[in-house]
């Protein structure tokens, strides 16, 4: 086994060397209006990934207006006076490209992957919709029905999504992370065109955005084109900061829901720090040890060996802007109860506190993270996204120090953070019981 791990590391390092040789340094610039631009040349293939990242997500929403960031993401494809209804996606597709977007708790991101010689088109389209979105009342009304149906599909009719929303709502009493990204149904139905227009004017401006492009181009030339198009857009006022700080949790919180489903589901969430803490790296390692692949601890013990769970996993969001939750979840095998599944999950937490992870587990986790990290360099899209994510939490150059800091994590570090954050009186538990 150790020979295999050594071979994997050598393969990863070789791949990393190839990726590094193919990628040039990052050309970074901040325009006078505040737009942050990161450009990296990659001449291996005649393509480019062009991405706009806005520093706004569900974290920036007020009570009673949840889901407005996600709603606006939909509206960004509805057209401007220059490029009418549906023309953005149509023009990208006609030129052989792909475009999409997503909204998270912290950011809203738009991307176009297209032939490199079509980058002028994308610069034109993205600069236009940053400042000139129509936001017609009729378009908002029709898109409202689309968002309502999306919520119904992903949350109302999805047991896992439904339970996750319930657990978040009890875990966060002050911070907006407790609200769903897609928004509550009542808010989606109520949000007015005036609120959406005000949200757009507040957050969609150059000083609140990061433009990242990676691909087959000459960076100085592309930067000049970006200046010409985006540089004309006014800077705008600084968006209001998110001041909410989640107070310490003083006892276990629990929610039990009954919903039409085939099997029970158990979620457990613990409050943990974000990447500003030195504990972020041991937590990232712990997440990988517990849930990454079939050799991970939860899969191996609960799914394979004991056959208690149909699936089991965990997750830690290193890139979260504010302290968030470390999640654990499991779906019991038919015939197993939610109560037994919860006990088995919590027993794994206790094992982490009492016994250090093995050297083999720790090394495997480091190899997995490093392999995933390095192989992302082979995709212009993923490399651009990674640059943006590190810039959002600090500076893009931190990307080059990430693996070094992960390699320094010890088994004692992993045990320490498990003891520090997985206390019985700090857990948020959600149980979904199937209803006929």
32 a catalytic residue: no
Helix (H, G, I), strand (E, B) or coil at 31: coil
Q: How far apart are alpha carbons 85 and 226 in whole angstroms?
A: 24
Residues 303 and 218 placed together within one structural domain of the fold: no
Domain end, chosen from 230, 264, 283, is at 230
pLDDT by position in tens, the chain (length 436)? 333 333 333 333 333 433 433 457 999 999 999 999 999 999 999 999 999 999 999 999 999 999 999 999 999 999 999 999 889 999 999 999 999 999 999 999 999 999 999 999 999 999 999 999 999 999 999 999 999 999 999 999 999 999 999 999 999 999 999 999 999 999 999 999 999 999 999 999 999 999 999 999 999 999 999 999 999 999 999 999 999 999 999 999 999 999 999 999 999 999 999 999 999 999 999 999 998 888 889 999 999 999 999 999 999 999 999 999 999 999 999 999 999 999 999 999 999 999 999 999 999 999 999 998 888 888 999 999 999 999 999 999 999 899 999 999 999 999 999 999 999 999 999 999 998 7
Identify the pLDDT of residue 436: 78
Residues 178 and 264 placed together within one structural domain of the fold: no
- 375 vs 12, 98, 372, 396, CA distance in Å? 8, 21, 5, 18
Residues 192 and 341 placed together within one structural domain of the fold: no
Domain end, chosen from 215, 230, 245, is at 230
Domain end, chosen from 230, 265, 286, is at 230
Q: List all residues 6 or more positions away from 93 whose beta carbon is below 8 Å from its beta carbon.
A: 99
Q: Is residue 380 part of a domain?
A: yes
Identify the pLDDT of residue 1: 35
Identify the pLDDT of residue 2: 34
Q: How many residues comprise the chain?
A: 436
Residues 365 and 220 placed together within one structural domain of the fold: no
Domain count, the chain: 2
If DSSP states are collapsed to H, E and C, what string results for 354-410?
HCCCCHHHHHHHHHHHHHHHHHHHHCHHHHHHHHHHHHHHCCHHHHHHHHHHHHCCC
Residues 144 and 284 placed together within one structural domain of the fold: no
Residues 45 and 170 placed together within one structural domain of the fold: yes
Identify the pLDDT of residue 173: 96
Q: Is residue 11 part of a domain?
A: no
Identify the pLDDT of residue 73: 98
Residues 257 and 172 placed together within one structural domain of the fold: no
Which candidate in 73, 166, 348, 361 is catalytic? Answer: 73
Q: Which long-range contacts (CB under 8 A, 24 or more apart) does 201-205 make?
A: 201/236, 202/237, 202/239, 202/240, 203/54, 203/55, 203/56, 203/60, 203/69, 203/239, 204/54, 204/56, 204/72, 204/130, 204/131, 204/133, 205/33, 205/34, 205/130, 205/131, 205/233, 205/234, 205/235, 205/236
Residues 284 and 344 placed together within one structural domain of the fold: yes
Q: Is residue 388 part of a domain?
A: yes
Residues 116 and 263 placed together within one structural domain of the fold: no
Q: How far apart are alpha carbons 394 and 318 in whole angstroms?
A: 13
Identify the pLDDT of residue 12: 35
What is the domain extent for residue 62? Answer: 24-230
Residues 56 and 200 placed together within one structural domain of the fold: yes
Helix (H, G, I), strand (E, B) or coil at 64: coil
DSSP 120-152: HHHHHHHHHHHH-----HHHHHHHHHHHHHHHI
Q: Is residue 190 part of a domain?
A: yes
């Amino acid at each position: 086994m150790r020979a295999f791990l050594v071979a994997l590391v050598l393969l990863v390092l070789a791949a990393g060397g190839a990726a590094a040789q193919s990628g040039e340094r990052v050309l970074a610039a901040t325009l006078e209006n505040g737009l942050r631009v990161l450009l990296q040349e990659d001449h291996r293939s005649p393509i480019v990934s062009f991405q706009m990242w806005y520093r706004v997500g569900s974290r920036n929403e007020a009570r009673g207006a949840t889901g407005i960031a996600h709603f606006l993401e939909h509206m960004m494809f509805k057209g401007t006076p220059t490029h009418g209804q549906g023309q953005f996606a149509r023009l990208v597709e006609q030129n052989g490209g792909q475009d999409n977007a997503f909204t998270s708790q912290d950011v809203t991101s738009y991307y176009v992957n297209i032939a490199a010689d079509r980058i002028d088109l994308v610069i034109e389209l993205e600069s236009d919709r940053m400042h000139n979105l129509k936001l017609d009342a009729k378009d908002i009304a029709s898109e409202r029905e689309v968002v309502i149906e999306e919520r119904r599909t992903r949350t109302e009719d999805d047991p896992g999504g439904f339970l996750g929303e319930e657990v978040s709502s009890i875990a966060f009493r002050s911070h907006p992370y407790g609200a769903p990204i897609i928004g509550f149904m009542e808010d989606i139905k109520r949000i007015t065109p005036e609120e959406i227009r005000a949200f757009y004017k507040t957050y969609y401006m150059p000083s609140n955005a990061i433009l990242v492009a990676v691909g087959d181009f000459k960076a100085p030339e592309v930067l000049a084109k970006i200046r010409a198009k985006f540089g004309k857009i006014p800077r705008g006022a600084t968006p209001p900061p998110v001041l909410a700080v989640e107070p310490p949790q003083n006892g276990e919180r629990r929610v039990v829901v009954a919903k039409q489903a085939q099997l029970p589901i158990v979620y457990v969430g613990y409050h943990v720090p974000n990447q500003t803490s030195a504990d972020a790296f041991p937590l990232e390692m712990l997440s990988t040890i517990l849930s990454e692949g079939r050799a991970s601890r939860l899969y191996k013990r609960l799914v394979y060996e004991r056959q208690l769970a149909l699936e089991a996993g965990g997750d830690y969001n290193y890139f979260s802007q504010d302290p968030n939750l470390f999640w654990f979840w499991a779906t019991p095998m038919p015939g197993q109860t939610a109560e037994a599944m919860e006990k088995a999950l919590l027993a794994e937490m206790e094992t982490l506190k009492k016994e250090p992870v093995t050297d083999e587990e720790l090394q495997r986790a480091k190899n997995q993270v490093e392999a995933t990290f390095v192989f992302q360099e082979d995709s212009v899209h993923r490399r651009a996204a990674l640059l943006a994510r590190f810039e959002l939490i600090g500076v893009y150059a931190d990307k080059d120090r990430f693996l070094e800091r992960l390699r320094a994590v010890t088994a004692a570090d992993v045990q320490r953070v498990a003891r520090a954050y997985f206390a019985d009186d700090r857990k948020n538990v959600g149980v979904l019981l199937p209803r006929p």
